[in-house]
């Protein structure tokens, strides 16, 4: 007799915990063939608000961690993801309807992307910073620093895991904390990734994942005064211009949607997009 499987309850990931939506709502996640896979939490604006609070609270610790430490933590995610390849491959196959080879290639690329970004943590400052030869007796240094709390609309197309990783990893490199609205149709790998994050060394609140409707949640994040930046990479199907207009109220840094095969491709500029250059002058004299 076959053993009866134990299905997983897919919940939100906020502040290092896995709460249900405060609204109590769920929505059905279907396989590519239309079969029921799971009831995912349907996050609300209040969940998004809680996620922003968690992200803000985690910011000091994450941004203040040494670059070496952040690099190791991000690398640790790759290690754990590698150990759970099978789970992600299975979820991707069922959700996205791809074969094992394609799913496996996506997981591998997601893992490698963590590794690539992890390596940037203690280098991007060197590449993007400057000692400035000002004409006066001053020590003058410009360094990029994290922008703060970054809200991300994850890519909504195929490749749910890779899209999510490609969106959140670069923001994390510099020390930002993120609130990400997951792929609406294929949220399973997002919540499974949350389990990886929760069991790796990523401090609670550094990554917060809200599943549900981007159409419903994105406006609350775009207008939230305590969000510093908005990555609309996966918002191409939303009224993203309206979101960008809302974001202007508090002068949020905004990245527009990206589509096609090249969307959210790994790039130093994705890291730098969520940094602020700080220039410090200090007097210099021997007398």
Partner 1 sequence: MTQSPLATYQPEQRALALIGGEATDTNLRRYLQGIPGIDAVGLEARAADLGTRSIKTSSKRWAIDTIIGLIDLTTLEGADTPGKVRSLVAKALVPDPGDPGTPRVAAVCVYGDMVGAAVTALGSAHAAAGETEGSGVQGVRVAAVATAFPSGRASLAVKLADVRDAVAAGADEIDMVIDRGAFLAGRFGQVYDEIVAVKEACRRADGSMAHLKVILETGELNTYDNVRRASWLAILAGGDFIKTSTGKVAPAATLPVTLSMLEVVRDWHRLTGVRIGVKPAGGIRTSKDAIKYLVTVAETVGEEWLTPHLFRFGASSLLNDVLLQRQKMTTGHYSGPDYVTID
Partner 2 sequence: MKFLDYAPAPESQALLSLKSDYGLFINGDFTAGRGTPFQTINPATEQQIAMIATANEADVDDAVAAARHAYDGVWSRLSGSDRGKYLFRIARLVQERARELAVAETLDNGKPIKETRDVDIPLVAAWFFYYAGWADKLDHAGVGPNPASLGVAAQVIPWNFPLMMLAWKIAPALAAGNTVVLKPAETTSLTALLFAEILQQADLPAGVVNIITGDGSTGATLVNHPGVNKVAFTGSTAVGRAIARSVAGTDKKLSLELGGKGANIVFDDAPIDQAVEGIVRGIFFNQGHVCCAGSRLLVQESIHDDVIDRLKRRMQTLRLGDPLDKNTDIGAINSAEQLARIRELSDLGEQEGAERWSADCVIPENGFWFAPTIFTNVSTSHRIARDEIFGPVLSVLTFRTPAEAIAKANNTPYGLSAGIWSDKGSRILAVADKLRAGVIWANTFNQFDPSSPFGGYKESGYGREGGRHGLAAYLKPAVRTGSRSIAAADHRTLSVSKKSASAGKKSASAEKAAK
Find the binding residues for partner 1 in span 133-152 (CB under 8 A).
Answer: 136-138
Matching residue, tokens 């990886």: 196
- Measured in residues, the chain has a length of 287
Q: Interface with partner 2 includes 228 (CB under 8 A)? A: yes
- CA angle at 210 for the pair 205 and 216, rounded to the nearest 5°: 135
Residue 140 token pair = 């003058």
Is 61 a residue that touches partner 2 (CB under 8 A)?
A: no
Closer CB to partner 1, residue 136 or residue 260? Answer: 136
Output 15 or 144, the one with its CB closest to partner 2.
Answer: 144
Strands 138-146 and 130-131: antiparallel
Q: How many residues bind partner 2 (CB under 8 A)?
A: 58
34: contact with partner 2 by CB under 8 A: no
Q: Which of 110, 150, 170 is nearest to 232 (CA)?
A: 150
Q: Which does 286 bind (CB under 5 to 8 A by kind): partner 2, partner 1, none?
A: partner 1
Binding status of residue 248 toward partner 2 by CB under 8 A: yes
Only one of the segments 14-22, 49-57, 137-145, 186-194 lies at the binding site for partner 2 (rule: CB under 8 A); that segment is: 137-145
Q: Which helix (H) or strand (E) holds 220?
A: helix 214-223
Which helix H or strand E contains 177, and what residues bound it?
strand 177-181
Nearest to 10 by CA among 165, 195, 213, 198: 195
| Cβ 117 vs Cβ 53: under 8 Å | no
**For residue 145, which phi and psi values (nearest 5 degrees)?**
-130, 160
Spell out, one character per residue from 162 to 201, where the chain touches partner 2: x when CB under 8 A holds, - when not. ----------------------------------------
Give yes or no for residue 75 binding partner 2 (CB under 8 A).
no
List 32, 56, 85, 123, residue binding partner 2 (CB under 8 A): 32
Closest CA to 85 of 98, 70, 100: 100
Is residue 68 a contact point for partner 2 (CB under 8 A)?
no
Which stretches of the chain bind partner 2, using CB under 8 A? 32, 97, 112-113, 116, 127-128, 130, 132-136, 138, 140, 142, 147, 156-158, 228, 236-237, 240-241, 244-245, 247-251, 253-263, 265-270, 273, 276-283
């Amino acid at each position: 007799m076959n053993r009866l499987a134990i299905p997983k309850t897919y919940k939100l990931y906020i502040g290092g915990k896995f709460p249900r939506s405060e609204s109590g709502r769920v929505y059905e996640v279907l396989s590519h063939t239309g079969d029921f896979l799971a009831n995912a939490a349907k996050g609300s604006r209040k969940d998004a608000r809680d996620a922003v609070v968690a992200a803000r609270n985690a910011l000091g610790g994450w941004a203040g961690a040494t670059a070496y430490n952040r690099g190791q933590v991000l690398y640790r995610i790759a290690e754990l993801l590698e150990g759970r390849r099978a789970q992600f491959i299975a979820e991707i196959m069922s959700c996205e309807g791809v074969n094992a080879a394609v799913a496996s290639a996506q997981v591998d690329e997601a893992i490698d992307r963590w590794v690539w970004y992890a390596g940037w943590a203690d280098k991007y400052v060197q590449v993007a910073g400057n000692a400035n030869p000002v004409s006066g007796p001053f020590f003058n240094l410009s360094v990029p620093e994290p922008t703060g709390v970054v809200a991300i609309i994850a890519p909504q197309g195929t490749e749910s895991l890779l899209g999510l990783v490609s969106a959140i990893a670069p923001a994390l490199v510099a020390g930002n904390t993120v609130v990400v609205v997951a792929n609406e149709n294929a949220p399973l790998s997002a919540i499974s990734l949350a389990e990886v994050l929760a069991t790796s060394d990523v401090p609670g609140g550094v990554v917060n994942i809200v599943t549900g409707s981007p159409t419903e949640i994105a406006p609350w994040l775009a207008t939230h005064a305590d969000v510093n930046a908005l990555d609309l990479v996966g918002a191409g199907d939303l009224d993203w211009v309206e979101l960008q207009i809302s974001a202007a109220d508090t002068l949020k840094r905004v990245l527009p949607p990206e589509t096609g095969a090249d969307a959210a491709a790994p790039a130093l500029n994705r890291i730098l997009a969520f940094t602020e250059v700080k220039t410090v002058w200090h007097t210099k004299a021997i007398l």
